[in-house]
């Protein structure tokens, strides 16, 4: 069921749904099956399901919903990394060159260094703020695929998807966009010309810090076939319980994003006023280096903010002084969290650099708690 004029709240709940039928639940319950009864004779009756690694009804419902938000056909994966792996390896092989963000999610760079290069794929790394110029200057001429991550995690830089895509298409390269931070409500890379939009649905899309999921959405049928074939053969299909929980969770995406963004707006003002904080980044705050492009390209803000405290000890003091902000990695969940990125290695950030993920608690409570914790830094 789709309504192109519907708002984000309606789309979060109703995207991909089949018309309700009397006596049936509003949303189908999960179907727990690995094999399905095949019937007595081939061909299978009416294209019925055969085996859940490749087809199953609960996954189809979830994919229909996410695909509708993305404006494409969605394939769901067991994790965001499985989705990224499929996006790259379904398209690139030995002797191909792929261009990845040098400032994006660290495990994507590990995927390249530890796995892709082992399979003979050449990898070039370009920073998000530099990719548009790189592409315009012919940098993608012999590339098979460029992956963008915008806003980038954790520095929250933004690049112009449409501009990079124009240059990539002219060079014959594919464009995939890691849309995790933005979410499908916050940005539609496929409408901006990208070939694939990829997400870690572990983050805000499902948003309760209790699921691992990822997805790739595409508009091209041949690309869909390739990515689905890769997933089905390598076996990174999520199970029905994850798919059902993911679908259930995304119904509240609009509400959660709205509160997270309101909290992020208030938190970034508080951080901006604190003498203990430097290097504040929130793409929707006027004056942020990403502000102009984010406002033009993105559809709505979210709750991820980054900033720098003096050092590791300052982050520890902040964490022991707060009651509401939890030390945890990942982002986009209902809880407000703080992640000192340097503890994981891999990101080019200072020891006191933190990513704040604003949850859906009351703004006043978060501000009061964070303000007291910042005061404790002296
Ligand atoms: C931008 C981005 N892409 C991909 C991933 C990987 O997702 P997952 O942990 O679901 O595999 C993450 C995880 O933090 C991420 O932040």
pLDDT tens string 128-182: 999 999 999 999 999 999 999 999 999 999 999 999 999 999 999 999 999 999 9
Mean pLDDT of 179-188: 98
Mean pLDDT of 182-207: 98
Compute the distance from residue 178 Cα to the ligand 1 centre, in Å.
9
Q: Measured at the alpha carbon of residue 75, what is the angle toward residues 44 and 122, in degrees to the nearest 5?
A: 125
Picking from 7-11, 45-49, 261-265, which range would have the lowest pLDDT averaged per residue? 45-49
pTM (2 d.p.):
0.97
Q: Which of 101, 148, 155, 180 should be mutated for ligand 1, with most atoms under 8 A from CB?
A: 180
pLDDT in tens, 227-241: 999 999 999 999 999
Count, residues in the chain: 378
Token pair of 73, please?
């056909």
What is the predicted pLDDT for the residue at 378? 79
Asked if 263 and 361 touch (Cβ cutoff 8 Å), the reply is: yes
Q: With 70 as the cut, is the pLDDT of residue 41 above it?
A: no
In whole numbers, what is the pLDDT of the chain averaged over residues?
96
What is the predicted pLDDT for the residue at 4? 65
Phi, psi of 280 (to 5 degrees): -65, 135
Distance from the Cα of residue 44 to its chain's centroid? 37
Q: Of residues 118 and 44, which shows the higher confidence score? A: 118
**Measuring from each residue's beta carbon to the nearest atom of ligand 1, which residues come in under 6 Å?**
79-81, 84, 105, 107, 149, 153, 178, 180, 200, 202, 212, 214, 330
């Amino acid at each position: 069921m789709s309504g192109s004029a519907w708002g984000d709240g309606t789309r979060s709940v109703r995207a991909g749904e089949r018309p309700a039928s009397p006596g049936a639940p509003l949303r189908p319950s999960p179907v727990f099956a690995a094999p399905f009864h095949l019937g007595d004779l081939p061909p299978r009756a009416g294209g019925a399901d055969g085996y859940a690694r490749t087809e199953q009804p609960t996954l189809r419902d979830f994919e229909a919903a996410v695909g509708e938000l993305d404006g494409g056909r969605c394939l769901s994966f067991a994790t965001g990394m499985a989705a990224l792996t499929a996006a790259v390896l379904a398209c690139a092989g030995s002797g191909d060159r792929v261009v990845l963000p040098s400032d994006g999610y660290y495990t994507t760079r590990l995927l390249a260094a530890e796995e892709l290069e082992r399979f003979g794929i050449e990898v070039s790394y370009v920073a998000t703020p530099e990719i548009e110029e790189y592409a315009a200057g012919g940098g993608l001429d012999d590339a098979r695929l460029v992956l963008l991550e915008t806003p980038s995690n954790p520095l929250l830089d933004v690049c112009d998807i449409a501009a990079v895509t124009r240059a990539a298409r002219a060079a014959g390269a594919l464009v995939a966009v890691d849309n995790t931070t933005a979410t499908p409500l916050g940005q539609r890379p496929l409408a901006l010309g990208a070939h694939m939009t990829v997400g870690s649905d572990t983050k805000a899309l499902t948003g309760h810090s209790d699921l691992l999921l990822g997805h790739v959405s595409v508009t091209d049928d041949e690309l869909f076939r390739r990515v689905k074939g890769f997933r089905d053969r390598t076996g990174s299909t999520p199970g029905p319980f994850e798919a059902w929980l993911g679908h259930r969770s995304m119904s509240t995406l609009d509400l959660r994003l709205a509160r997270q963004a309101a909290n992020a707006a208030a938190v970034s003002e508080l951080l901006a006023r604190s003498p203990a904080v430097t290097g504040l980044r929130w793409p929707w705050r006027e004056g942020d280096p990403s502000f102009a492009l984010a406002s033009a390209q993105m559809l709505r803000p979210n709750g991820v903010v980054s900033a720098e405290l003096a050092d590791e000890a300052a982050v520890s003091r902040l964490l022991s002084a707060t009651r509401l902000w939890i030390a945890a990695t990942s982002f986009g969940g209902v809880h407000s969290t703080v992640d000192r990125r340097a503890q994981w290695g891999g990101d080019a950030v200072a020891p006191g650099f933190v990513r704040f993920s604003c949850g859906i608690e009351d703004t006043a409570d978060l501000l009061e708690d964070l303000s007291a914790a910042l005061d404790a830094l002296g």
